[in-house]
Structure 1
Amino acid sequence: MSRFHRRAFLHASGLALATTAAGRVWAAPPEPPRMLTRPIPSTQEPLPVIGMGTWQTFDVGPDAAEQAPLEEVLRTFVALGGTLVDSSPMYGRSEEVVGTLAVKTGLQPKLFLATKVWTSGKAEGIRQMEDSLRKLRAQRVDLMEVHNLVDAATHLDTLRAWKEEGRVRYVGVTHYTASAHDAVAKLLQSRKVDFVQINYSVGEREAEQRLLSVARERGVAVIANRPFAGGGLLQRLKRKPLPPWAAELDCESWAQLLLKFVISHPAVTCAIPATSKPSHLRDNMKAGLGRLPDEKLRARIAAEAA
């Protein structure tokens, strides 16, 4: 090979190997591991398995000092491969804070923004959704969900039109209590939606009885809220040593083990733990890396967390 062609070859290959003056050959450093993704069933668009909720955590005032930790959380979330940020008009100032920080950091184009409509009546629903777009500083959102099934039929009709107009990319419904799972399942069987958001964790497994199967059969993406059962699981387990076999799943903390239990269910697309602490965010995001438990290890996680 001529010197010219050798130089061109090395340049085209990205200089994967470098030769020192002493003649040693060094491999380029490996790329960091990437967040696992799951396809959204209705489009096959990949979605990272760990997203972020904003209930309570992003409900802060306009003061820069209050928002500084959340800005770091958002920057770190995206840097570590996250995209889906979920909010709601019932979460106080969360929508507005998410919108402000997304624009300030320049990260808005990289986010999969999800919010909700939580009111009754067509006109009031439209007003609330328009207000959410304003607070999020977005011309459209990726996902608009009917919160807790409130006036679901009315809002889903509106959202069907909004989707056709390109104002939302996906449509969904939500709930956070097991007592509503039957009603959610019936809606999934009668209406076409892209997403369902429900409570699911090792401490709240009722969705396994029917709802997760219905979602999978209907081709509906599942967002798992309350993946730590509202924080109760972590509080109870924080003094308990992490089992040694957690290393088989590349887990270094209870938070990672509990999240891997959630996202390893074949019907689950994404889990959305909420935090306002950058250190907790980094811990959560590691759950989207490495090996996931099979049924045997899922059973061991459930037994350890019982």
Structure 2
Amino acid sequence: MTMNRRAFLAASTAACLAGPAPARADTALLRRPIPSSGEHIPVIGIGTSRRYNVEPTPEAVAPLREAVVRFAELGGTVIDTAPDYGRAEEVLGGILAETALREKIFLCSKVAAEGREAGEAQVAQSFRRLRTDRIDLIAVHNLIDTGTQLALLRRLKDEKRIRYLGATTWAERQYGDLEALMRAEPLDVIQVNYAIDARQAAERILPLARDRGIAVMINVPFGRERLFTLVRGRALPPWAAEFDCASWPQFFLKYVLGHEAVTCPVPGMAQQRYVEDNLGAARGRLPDAATRRRMEELIDGL
């Protein structure tokens, strides 16, 4: 049985009452560089898959707006979306316009189309939906027609309509193709799935990104809720305080960030309290190699 984060937090509150105090919200977020430019970005972003695919009504958008505003207040900048995420681009574009936050956000989207004309049309739609004339990063989604779409993205980069280009996947079956693309093309960013219970990307993809100077965004760092189900009702281990970890979500995110090749995980954040908790992982100490092995052993043993 799967368990969403709301249910997980409710079920685990009592187990975590004796845990370490939350990290201070007034401390600066850790930042890491995009190697191709040297620009530093905060190490936790917002992912909009599923959660931002809502009807653009005031009632449905209100908690998402609160989350984005709080995210920016706490120093977050990276927000990742895609045309394949239903109405997420439209909803996010409305939020950024209404809150005047566009210039504070490192805005990321994707292109998932076959052929030049379809790619151009989809990218044009993303600009309209996001209500902007500049998108910081557009990546080829799930390696769809990479040759054609990377040519389009290079042109957009030359025209300064985008600042970075890249490619994404969330499936291990595409790792061979992604690795080949990383070797063949000058990518600024890749996005790949990686979590404490799904570590395959660390075998070849993350080391190759480090060697090739490619920034790495991480999708599904919570394993699409698998990890919350796994630790339901369990207290955070006391030794988590050694790396300034105050909750299970921070535990999972700090594990991911403990890999030196990782630039920025983008977990879903649809409520203000999730923003505040997740950004705690971007403060304080991160686990070293020995501690990460201990974390793996703990989760693997559940």
Fold shared by both chains (TM-score > 0.5): yes
Specify which of 79, 85, 104 is matched with residue 79 of structure 2: 85
Q: Residue 67 of structure 1 aligns with which residue?
A: 61
Find 1:271's aligned residue among 240, 265, 270: 265
Match of 2:52 in 1: 58
Equivalent residue letter for 1:91:
Y
Which amino acid is 1:253 matched to?
A: S
Which shifted more, 277-286 or 119-128?
277-286
Contact 2:25 2:280 in 1 (8 A): no
Q: Write out per-residue CA displacement over residues 100-152 of structure 1, whole angstroms, 9 at most, x where no aligned residue.
A: 00110111100000000011000110000000010000101000000000000
Asked if residue 109 in structure 1 is aligned to residue 73 in structure 2, the reply is no
SS in 1 for 2:278: helix
Q: 1:172 aligns with which of 146, 151, 166?
A: 166
AA in 2 matched with 1:142: D
Cα RMSD, aligned residues only: 1.1
- The aligned runs of 1:132-281 (5 Å cut-off) are 132-281=126-275
**172-181 vs 231-240, which deviates more?**
231-240
Aligned twin of 1:118: 112
Moved over 4 A (4+): none
Higher relative contact order (CA 8 A, sep 6+): 2
Q: Provide the rounded CA distance (Å) in 1 between the counterparts of 2:27 and 2:68.
A: 20
Alpha-carbon distance in 2 for matches of 1:96, 1:160: 24
User: Quick one: which of 36, 39, 60 aligns to 1:42?
Assistant: 36
- Structure 1 spans left out of the alignment, 5+ residues: 1-29
Aligned-residue offset at 1:31: 9.8
Q: Distance in 2 between matches of 1:242 and 1:269?
A: 25
Partner of 1:129: 123
Give the gaps of 5 or more residues in structure 2. Answer: 1-23
Q: What residue is the counterpart of 2:8 in the other structure?
A: none
If the length of structure 1 is used for normalisation, what is the TM-score? 0.89
The CA deviation string for residues 77-98 of structure 1, in whole angstroms up to 9 with x for no partner, is 1111111100011100000011
Larger CA Rg, structure 1 vs 2: 1
* SS of structure 2 residue aligned to 1:43: coil
**Aligned residues with identical type, % of pairs:** 42
* Secondary structure at the counterpart of residue 67 of structure 2: helix
Number of aligned residues:
277
CA contact (8 A) 2:25 2:74 kept: no
- Contact 2:258–2:286 under 8 Å retained in 1: yes
Please tell me whether the aligned partners of residues 264 and 292 of structure 1 are also in contact (alpha carbons under 8 angstroms): yes
Letter of the 1:55 partner, please give it: S
Paired position in structure 1 for 2:289: 295
TM-score (norm 2): 0.90
Q: Distance in 2 between matches of 1:84 and 1:31?
A: 18
Given that residues 238 and 254 in structure 1 are in contact (C-alpha distance below 8 angstroms), is that contact kept between their aligned partners in structure 2? no
Amino acid at match of 1:291: R
